[in-house]
């Protein structure tokens, strides 16, 4: 621990105590989603299952709800619903990460946790000049207990990345295959083409670039937060590209998150990428990361937020000193050539007070403050609309096969997003105090979004025309988060 580390720790703890109360008083404080204690949260980092516990690290800027130097916040849990707040795991306290412990991942081996991340350093002058101006260092921090990280080792600097790259190389995701370790990093080359660098290592410390993954046609200027994994016999390349123009109802957000199926060999130029598919159609979803747990499930957690949205929409939580949250953990599977996402089964333990209705066209009920809805559609001859808390509208237009999520003023600038879905079979909805996650057809399409309904508004209204089905409603209990304090 150096002097800077001690000061940052003191300052963070002091702020969390001072401002934490104000955050707790916010009626929009989430109850079953992970959010920052104070300040700003972005990408999930270092997701892993280690010694029987789930570890969720995240980009954390405690000093300002609108961002700033990033640390790694840390939550742990044995069941993904009862959490411990482990305090801040990594501070920006070294010359090679002094402007941010940027995103990265975890590798578990020999009883140790290896965290790889990007040490961000902004040089004097125009640090946003893309060719130079920034150091994006690859750093390793090792822990023997999953909680304390005593030493940080600088593994690579800009000089170690290929010549044709800009200073934008970041977000290492590391895994092991046979006897080799692999790492993918997001990159932007000097011609402004977003791509992924693949590195290999035999000892976890010395890395060499072995390949570059890019689409045949340019697809954005920067690819952030890559992830590459095998699932049900397919190779999935996940990424968050920047610089994609909207195309009809596609690519509506400022930046996207999605995946390609990769055919061939990611280690050589002998590969092809299929069609880019968006992972989520809502307003607030970015930089997802996956990991495998001890049950062998591939679980995804995303940032329920997006960078650079200030001119588009906002979050009133900033007035209470915090902003953004993580999505529910979702299990990934492949079905009919598509990646599908389902909230992990553990979340069902939060259900209580189940109510069920046979639906025939219309239904008007009172909802609890936070809830889950499962609507099974047996027969649908025409359109339907589900109106939640008078400000959120979920509509399905049967003739066009179009599903839309829309908000009025409670979206704080969020208007509407749509997706094509030919036959709607079911809809699952998780509504927290200020967020919604919609899963259509068992997770074929997902919408994640923040919204800010009137605190005492409780109505749920279904308006259908020739709709038959069953609607089940559960109140959602709050997750527990025990505060372990700082280390």
Whether 43 is a known active-site residue: answer yes
Rounded CA separation 385/465 (Å): 9
Q: How far is the CB of 136 from ligand FRU (least distance, A)?
A: 9
Q: How far is the CB of 293 from ligand FRU (least distance, A)?
A: 24
* CB nearer ligand FRU, residue 103 or residue 323: 103
Rounded CA separation 260/229 (Å): 11
| Contact flag: residue 291 with ligand FRU (CB under 6 A) | no
| Contact flag: residue 298 with ligand FRU (CB under 6 A) | no
| Contact flag: residue 280 with ligand FRU (CB under 6 A) | no
* CB nearer ligand FRU, residue 239 or residue 344: 239
Beta bridge mates, 482:
84
Q: Is the dihedral of CA 291, 54, 283, 127 positive or negative?
A: negative
Q: How far is the CB of 375 from ligand FRU (least distance, A)?
A: 33
Contact 143, 112 (CB under 8 A): yes
Contact 121, 135 (CB under 8 A): yes
| Contact flag: residue 287 with ligand FRU (CB under 6 A) | yes
| Contact flag: residue 170 with ligand FRU (CB under 6 A) | yes
Residues across the chain? 487
Number of residues that bind ligand FRU (CB under 6 A): 14
| Contact flag: residue 219 with ligand FRU (CB under 6 A) | no
Rounded CA separation 250/265 (Å): 29
Q: How far is the CB of 257 from ligand FRU (least distance, A)?
A: 10
Q: How far is CA 482 from CA 33, 139, 404, in A?
A: 14, 30, 38
Q: How far is the CB of 169 from ligand FRU (least distance, A)?
A: 10
| Contact flag: residue 118 with ligand FRU (CB under 6 A) | yes
Return phi, psi of residue 347, to 5°: -60, -25
Rounded CA separation 149/141 (Å): 6
What is the x/- site pattern for ligand FRU, positions 33-72, by CB under 6 A? ---------xx---------------x----------x--
Geometric angle at alpha carbon 460, from 455 and 466, rounded to 5°: 160
Residues 224-243 touching ligand FRU, rule: CB under 6 A, are 224-225
Catalytic residues: 43
By CB under 6 A, name the binding residues for ligand FRU. 42-43, 59, 70, 102-103, 118, 170-171, 224-225, 286-287, 307
């Amino acid at each position: 621990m150096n002097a800077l580390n001690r000061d940052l720790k003191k300052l963070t703890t002091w702020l969390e105590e001072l401002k934490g109360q104000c955050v707790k008083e916010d009626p929009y404080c989430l109850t079953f989603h992970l959010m920052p204690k104070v300040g700003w949260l972005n990408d999930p980092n270092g997701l892993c299952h280690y010694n029987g516990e789930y570890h969720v690290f995240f980009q954390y800027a405690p000093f300002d709800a609108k961002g700033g130097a990033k640390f790694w916040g840390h939550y742990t849990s044995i069941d993904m619903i009862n959490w411990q707040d482990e305090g801040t795991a990594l501070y920006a306290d070294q010359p090679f990460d002094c402007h941010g412990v940027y995103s990265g991942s975890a590798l578990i081996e020999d009883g140790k946790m290896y965290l790889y991340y990007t040490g961000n350093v902004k040089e004097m002058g125009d640090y946003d000049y893309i060719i130079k101006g920034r150091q994006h260092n690859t750093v390793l921090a090792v822990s023997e207990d999953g909680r304390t990280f005593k030493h940080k080792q600088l593994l690579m600097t800009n000089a170690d990345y290929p010549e044709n790259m800009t200073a934008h190389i970041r977000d290492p995701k590391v895994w092991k295959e046979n006897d080799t370790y692999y790492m993918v990093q997001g990159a932007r080359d000097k011609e402004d083409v977003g791509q992924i660098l693949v590195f290999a290592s035999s000892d976890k410390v010395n890395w060499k670039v072995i390949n570059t993954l890019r689409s045949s046609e340019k697809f954005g200027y920067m690819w952030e937060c890559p992830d590459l994994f095998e699932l049900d016999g397919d190779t999935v390349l996940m990424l968050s590209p920047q610089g994609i123009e909207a195309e009809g109802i596609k690519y509506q957000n400022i930046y996207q998150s999605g995946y390609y199926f990769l055919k061939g060999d990611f280690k050589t130029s002998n590969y092809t990428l299929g069609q880019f598919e968006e992972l989520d159609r809502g307003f607030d979803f970015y930089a997802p990361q996956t990991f495998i747990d001890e049950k062998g499930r591939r679980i995804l957690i995303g940032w329920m937020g997006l960078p650079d949205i200030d001119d588009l929409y906002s979050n009133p939580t900033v007035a209470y000193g915090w902003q953004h949250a993580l999505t529910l953990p979702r299990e990934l599977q492949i079905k009919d050539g598509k990646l599908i996402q389902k909230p992990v089964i553990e979340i069902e333990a939060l259900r209580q007070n189940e109510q069920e209705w046979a639906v025939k066209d219309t239904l008007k009920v009172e909802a609890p403050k936070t809830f889950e809805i499962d609507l099974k559609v047996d027969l649908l001859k025409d359109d339907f609309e589900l109106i939640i808390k008078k400000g959120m509208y979920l509509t399905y237009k049967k003739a066009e096969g179009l599903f839309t999520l829309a908000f009025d003023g409670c979206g704080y600038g969020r208007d509407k997003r749509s997706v094509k879905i030919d036959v709607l079979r079911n809809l699952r909805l998780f509504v927290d105090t200020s967020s919604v996650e919609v899963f259509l057809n068992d997770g074929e399409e997902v919408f994640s979004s923040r919204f800010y309904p009137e605190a005492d508004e409780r109505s749920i209204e279904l308006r259908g025309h020739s709709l038959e089905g069953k609607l089940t409603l559960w109140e959602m209990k709050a997750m527990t988060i025990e505060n372990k304090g700082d280390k």
